């Protein structure tokens, strides 16, 4: 919804990419929460009704984690309640396919049955600004591993953030819906 109490313009699905949909609340109002949406345009928000009866499927959880990506510095850091869990050098989008900046969130955790470049892929609620589609999907940007460590510290991807195995291990334990701040 564009504002609390107005006519709905879309439906937030109960599942995304095979798992439950978790979205971060960015503003609260009595009976309503404004959430980040996993859709274009990037950083889009919508209001969901949280008051009244009949909404027992809605669950509210809190995440103490914060993931930060500094594109220019090519760094990813993870904090838990303000305590650093680590900072890693990563690969980011190339000049023609940059990593989009802004506030987003962990949308899903995928473990491909036959991984080619990463044992885990963490799609974000963010899309490429250069590609309308990629790999058969809508151009979703994600965090994932990479088998060749020589890419770390470089701008070489199609917009995703390639992370070392140690970072991927930490990221794999972070709850879906956790905020990700990507800055230049």
* Confidence check: pLDDT of 162 > 70: yes
For residue 85, what pLDDT is reported? 98
Q: Which residue has the higher pLDDT, 14 or 126?
A: 126
* Confidence check: pLDDT of 54 > 70: no
pLDDT tens, residue by residue, 69-86: 999 999 999 999 999 999
Domain locations in the chain as residue ranges = 65-183
Contact between residue 177 and residue 36 where contact means Cβ atoms under 8 Å apart: no
% helix / strand / coil in the chain, to the nearest 5?
Answer: 5, 40, 55
What's the average model confidence in pLDDT over 1-6?
73
Output the CATH code of domain 65-183.
2.40.440.10
pLDDT tens, residue by residue, 105-134: 999 999 999 999 999 999 999 999 999 999
Integer angstrom CA distances of residue 157 from 35, 65, 80, 153, 177: 28, 25, 27, 11, 24
């Amino acid at each position: 919804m564009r504002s609390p109490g107005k006519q709905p313009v879309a439906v937030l699905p109960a599942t995304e990419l095979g798992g439950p949909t978790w979205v971060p609340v960015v503003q609260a109002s009595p009976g309503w929460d404004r959430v980040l949406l996993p859709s274009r345009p990037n950083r889009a928000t919508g209001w969901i009704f949280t008051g009244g009866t009949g909404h027992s499927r809605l669950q509210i959880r809190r995440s103490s984690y914060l993931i930060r990506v500094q594109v220019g510095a090519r760094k990813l850091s993870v904090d838990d309640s303000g305590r650093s869990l680590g900072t890693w050098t990563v690969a980011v989008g190339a000049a023609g396919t940059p990593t989009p900046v802004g506030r987003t969130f962990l949308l899903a955790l995928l473990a491909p049955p036959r991984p080619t470049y990463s044992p885990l892929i963490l799609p974000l609620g963010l899309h490429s600004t250069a590609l309308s589609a990629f790999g058969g999907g809508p151009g979703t940007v994600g965090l994932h591993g990479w088998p060749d460590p020589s890419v770390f510290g470089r701008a070489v991807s199609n917009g995703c953030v390639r992370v070392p195995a140690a970072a991927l291990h930490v990221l794999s334990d972070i709850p879906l819906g956790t905020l990700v701040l990507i800055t230049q």
